Copies of this chain bind each other. A is one copy, B any other.
């Protein structure tokens, strides 16, 4: 399959490299890493085994890539004002678009511009970061849940899941993408925000009992917001929040992406992870006062 990657950060480079290694025809839109990858290829340092791709199809503009069968979007949501113009040149009559970006609102943006029938979304549970230009580091996890923006099962979503599995990426097609997105927010909203605000990692936060209690309260607010979104099945608040906290307690000083963004002075993905979820909850008459306060504090720190 001819696949274009828009947003070749740690996530786009890692999944793209995995797919290319499995025999797919990959085309990467690059910026920071263009020259290094053109000249020396792409090195993947992975907890599942390192590998090297000497030849990588690299481009500086999406026009050079041209139509593909599948666009995978890994762009940071803070650059979503460029998303449409970056994706448009890659579309043929039957091109599908799969966004693996954080938070909410990404599928909606693509669906409004290109029609909802083209759009799929995926929730990626991946720990990766970029190293020197031309390298990407895969630290752990990597599973993807993907589904149709319009909801329901489709042959296409099952085919894509199979393609990822063949490439060594655990992947499941889900019929309720909205639920998968909100489930990830139950983790992202407390841990990304608190870690960025306090510049403390997951372990440091959970080792402070009042903060652990605050994490729980924030999770319960997210789940209340989620359960008002017409999900196929409701999220069990107590069970799911307890599961996520137990899971997080096993992490060894993990630094969420938003914490790293704050420390390195980059803009935070506040729109996708806070503003849009707050708006969707409000529309469903659910108030999330503690999350609103967290969003305000993060946003105040952005200026």
- A: residues with CB less than 8 A from B are 194, 197-198, 200, 204-205, 208, 210-211, 213-214, 289-290, 293-297, 299-301, 303
Contacts and interface: CB of A to CB of B under 8 A. Distances in A.
Contact of A300 (B205, B290, B301): B205
Contacts of A205: 300
Contact of A296 (B204, B210, B296, B300): B210
A209 to B, nearest CB: 9
A289 B210 CA distance: 13
B290 A208 contact: no
B301 A198 contact: yes
B293 A293 contact: yes
Given A197-B197, A200-B301, A204-B303, 10 more contacts: A194-B300, A198-B301, A200-B300, A205-B300, A208-B296, A208-B303, A210-B299, A211-B297, A289-B289, A289-B290
B197 A297 contact: yes
A147 to B, nearest CB: 33
Contact of A198 (B194, B200, B208, B300): B300
5 closest A-B pairs by CB = A210-B296, A211-B300, A208-B300, A214-B296, A198-B300
